Amino acid sequence: MAAVANALLPVFLIIAFGAVLRRTLLPADEAWLGLERLTYFVLFPALLTVTTATADLKDVPVGGVAAALFLAVIVLSAALFAARAPLMRALALSGPAYSSMFQGATRWNTYVGLALAGALYGTPGLALVSVAIVAMVPVLNVINVWIIAHHATDERPGLATITGHVLRNPFIWSSLAGIAINLSGLPLPKAIVVFGEILGRASLALGLLLVGAGLVLGDVARPDARIYATAALGLSGMALSVVAIASSVPSAPSSYVLARQLGGDAPLLARILTFETLVALATIPLALAVAALRP
């Protein structure tokens, strides 16, 4: 429990700090828009590329972990898509709100996953989370970009428009670039790896600050069925424990950036992210306990 709290509490504090900075030191929208573009187009892609390109996958059960998480993504996404109409009616959701709920329920916070797996299992745990990144991030980004493009506006975009959104998404091509480098077996120059790691580390702080900057703190505790439903839908649940971690961590802060860039309901998503981070203090230990029961 201490390791879980040590990984989650700083995340929540940085989100809260972003809200403070938005109302004090950096009140101008222009400042946050610049940070958002930097995070979306440079910092998060650097993190994804370096993490997937340098993961040591020789001694870990790549196939089993990847298959379990890939299938979980497909099943959950299909269920949410099938339930779109009744969800939108029951919760009075707009298209952008549905797309934000979809992101909040399906995406996962790789930072928290890496921190927890490293704290609990060391290097093998980190390697397994890298497998999870390779298995989940590309398909999640394709699915979520399609959902946002298709439902965040009143106009239904054509196939060419949706394909353009997917192909221009930097999270997708950076993930695929990292996979290709890893599979090629070609060593990356140390300076390039360190360069990418530094940029990637910066994405953690800035991504969470951006979530906090878009948050109306007074709304977090206000009852909202959309937030509670999203948190419930996002909770599924050494290799099995990492699968449990990847399935129960809160949604990714990059979801907020993606919603802002493509037209989703970003304020709703900011509230979802904060609520899920708080709930994860209980749900991650529960998921790990359930995983430990399996012989």
Report pLDDT for 1: 59
- Average pLDDT value for residue range 63-79: 84
Q: What is the mean pLDDT of residues 203-224?
A: 70
Residue pLDDT, tens place only, 89-136: 888 888 888 888 888 888 887 777 777 777 777 767 777 777 777 788
Q: What is the pLDDT of residue 237?
A: 37
- Structure letter (DSSP) for residue 41: I
Q: What is the pLDDT of residues 241-295, one digit of tens each?
A: 777 777 777 777 777 777 877 778 888 888 887 788 777 777 778 777 766 655 5
Q: What is residue 24's predicted lDDT score, i.e. its pLDDT? A: 93
What does the block give as tokens for 171? 């999270």
Q: Across all residues in the chain, what is the average pLDDT?
A: 78
Distance, C-alpha 112 to centroid of its chain: 10
Angle at 281 between CA 292 and CA 254, to 5 degrees: 105
Q: 238-248: string of b/e by CB count within 10 Å (b at 16+)?
A: ebbbbbbbbbb
Q: Let me know if 186 is exposed, middle or buried by CB neighbors in 10 A (0-12, 13-18, 19+).
A: exposed
Cα distance between residue 78 and residue 194, in whole Å: 38
Distances in Å between the alpha carbon of 218 and those of 221, 255, 263, 265, 274?
7, 21, 23, 17, 12
pLDDT tens digits along 189-198: 999 999 998 9
CA angle at 63 for the pair 60 and 66, rounded to the nearest 5°: 95
- Residue whose C-alpha is closest to residue 63's, from 291, 244, 239: 239
- pLDDT at 233 > cutoff 50: no
Q: Where are the alpha helices (DSSP H) in 169-264?
A: 170-184, 190-213, 225-233, 239-248, 254-262
- pLDDT tens digits along 4-39: 667 667 877 887 898 899 999 999 988 888 998 898
What number of helices (H) and strands (E) belong to the chain?
14, 0
Q: How far apart are CA 92 and CA 39, in angstroms?
A: 32
Predicted confidence at residue 42, as pLDDT, reads 92
pLDDT in tens, 129-161: 777 777 887 888 888 888 887 776 655 656 676
End-to-end CA distance of the chain, in Å?
A: 21
Q: What confidence tier does 222 reach under pLDDT thresholds 50, 70, 90?
A: low
d(CA 257, CA 270): 10
What is the average per-residue pLDDT within 59-87? 83
pTM: 0.70
How is domain 2-293 classified at the CATH fold level?
Na+/H+ antiporter like fold (1.20.1530)
pLDDT at res. 235: 36
For the chain, the structural domain boundaries read: 2-293
